[in-house]
Chain A
Amino acid sequence: MESTENKKRHRKKSSKADIAFTVFNSIFMILFVIITLYPVLNTLAISLNDGTDALRGGIHLFPRKFTWKNYTTVLEKNNLITGAVITVARTVLGTLTALLANAILAFIVSRPRFMFRKQLSLFWVITMYVNGGLIPTFILFKGLGLTNSFWVYIIPGMLSAFNMLVIRTYMNGLPDSLVESAQLDGAGYTTIFIKIISPLCKPVYATVALFVAVGQWNSWFDAMLYNRMSGEYTTLQYELMKLLSSVTSTQGASAETMKNATGAVTPASVRAAATIITMLPIICIYPFLQKYFVTGLTLGGVKE
């Protein structure tokens, strides 16, 4: 009698604890979503708001004095347009070449009969852990004529051990029988790679393409290090950074900024617009590719 009562009490207590947990969890998730989204939405609101009006502060999720002026100003800035063109070019070309190169390497090291299979794998895995560092790399690129050049965005990062391992893990998981029957029909390695393996690898190719494309789109350091001297090849993110430093250096002197601001546009509001333009393509694409990067991360975690 007593024990059942105890049990009952216990169960009641635990269900109360469950309710408390649900409440806590809901609050946690709501806060999480707000903290994640608010800064982005706030930037959007500021980008659509009159610049001088925005200096007063107090803009949250919606613009107070709506205008497209910030965006039209951005589109009139030649350096941002050049940056955008270069960024699109490096993203498209860089992704295609990286995908092809990594796929070829992964294909080679996933051939069971290939004679230098182990050695070639090791040759690349080592690069994950050891690298020359900034200065030697800088000197090398300079020597190779990769400074003040568009190709510094494409050639050096073309192959990466991580991406290769992701594709290789996937290729190793494919049934051997497909390749074998093709080989018996006299297909060479090139045919097998193009006609048999690659069509099956579409999901993992999508994953790697996404990783590379995001990296290309977001990178700015290479632009700063190698292509700062001539404005020809700077990227969108680098131009955005220059906007940011111009804004922060004028911060605290907002009266000054207000005076210098031409019409309704301030550096801060223009930067907000440029930020939105820069993040828009990625925000539009990533939700549809979720299953691919989830696969990619899981494959990347699996070793040997």
Chain B
Amino acid sequence: MSGRRKKTKQVETEMKVKITWKEIKRQKVLLFWSAIIVIYGFIFYYLPLGGWIMAFQNYKPAKGLLHSEFIGFDKFIQLFSDETFIRVIRNTLAMGVINLVVTFVMAILFAILLNEIRQRRTKKVIQTISYLPHFLSWIIVTGILHDALSGTGVVNELLKNLHLTKHSVDFFAHPSYFWPIVAFANVWKETGWNAIIYLSAITAIDPSLYEAASIDGAGRLAKIMHVTLPGIKSTIIILLLMNVGNVLNAGFEIQYLLGNGLVKSVSETIDIYVLKWGISQGDYALGTAAGIFKSVVSIALIVVANQVAKRSGEERLY
């Protein structure tokens, strides 16, 4: 009995394990799989980082990484003297920020308003419907958008019936429509999904706070402003900071699928630039340089966001 207890205690407390032959033997299964996983991770996640060398070379696929000539920062200089690249950075940032803000506001608004629905069944049905677009691919979503915004589509029909326009608007031919369309598509696709986390944060709010607010004569709007919103404030901040690092990642699929020659000046993002120059034109070095720029800026944004989180006393992100 006492021996058993002693053993249990040993299992519980020995968190800091010394590396001894006995331990290695005991954990050999774990070590074996770890080794395989590390080799796998090294190949698929760390080895590509070695490819960054290409950006500093006059890379020739025939010569390979080891024998290509080093040219320093030439490719980066070429990159930043390219007007297209500057425009592409602007597009990526603009769409990233616009999307971040509108999807954020809509998700919070939707979560709060849905929470105010009293009938449980209605609430459940609306929530189920709200998830639907998240599960559709961008191929499907952009196809639907094309239909809805086409000359005979529902949006033009509506505009005509409301006498807002006489002739069909060609939404995909004017650069000024592109960013709003992308923002709308993101809102359409992700609002319900993004609201999940706020809804679960709202359910964690102490109900007695609402009761106290009622006794003080607060209406529903006042309760939202003074109980619900402060209750999910920390969730909002954490998610906002987590997403800041992703701002530059916000642009590929939809821009690639919806873009066309007429709106190229506003639709192309860094990722599209990389694809175009790196893969289609075969300038691996230039494409890699653009990719490195994106990675470095993203990491900087994450570090800054993390510092801000620490300052504001919120949970750190990493």
Contact = CB atoms under 8 A, between A and B. Distances in A.
B274 A133 contact: yes
Contacts of A248: 146, 260
Contacts of B253: 221
A240 B291 contact: no
| Chain A interface helix/strand/loop/mixed | helix
Nearest to B18: A115
Interface in A49-72: 55-58, 60
Contact of A159 (B40, B47, B196, B271): B40
Contact of A36 (B43, B50, B129): B129
B307 interface: no
Contacts of B157: 57-58
Interface residues on B, range: 35 or more
A40 B48 contact: no
Interface in B35-82: 37-38, 40-41, 43-52, 54, 61
A33 B125 CA distance: 10
Interface residues of A, number: 100
Contacts of B29: 188-190
A116 B260 CA distance: 50
Contact of A111 (B30, B287, B302): B30
A127 B317 contact: no
B315 A303 contact: yes
A294 B131 CA distance: 11
Interface stretch (B87-95, B97-105, B112-120): B112-120
19 contacts: A42-B147, A43-B144, A58-B157, A111-B30, A120-B38, A123-B38, A125-B318, A129-B245, A129-B298, A129-B299, A133-B52, A133-B288, A137-B51, A176-B12, A189-B30, A248-B260, A272-B147, A287-B128, A297-B197
Given A115-B19, A244-B139, 15 more contacts: A21-B219, A25-B116, A32-B126, A33-B126, A36-B132, A36-B133, A42-B147, A111-B27, A113-B15, A113-B17, A115-B17, A240-B140, A275-B144, A279-B135, A279-B136
Interface of B: 4, 7-8, 11-12, 14-15, 17, 19, 23-24, 27, 29-31, 33-34, 37-38, 40-41, 43-52, 54, 61, 110, 113-114, 116-117, 126-133, 135-140, 142-148, 150-154, 157, 188, 191-192, 196-197, 200, 217-222, 238-239, 245, 252-253, 257, 260, 271, 274-275, 278-279, 284, 287-288, 291-292, 294-295, 298-299, 302, 315-318
The 4 closest A-B pairs by CB, nearest first: A132-B48, A136-B51, A133-B291, A57-B152
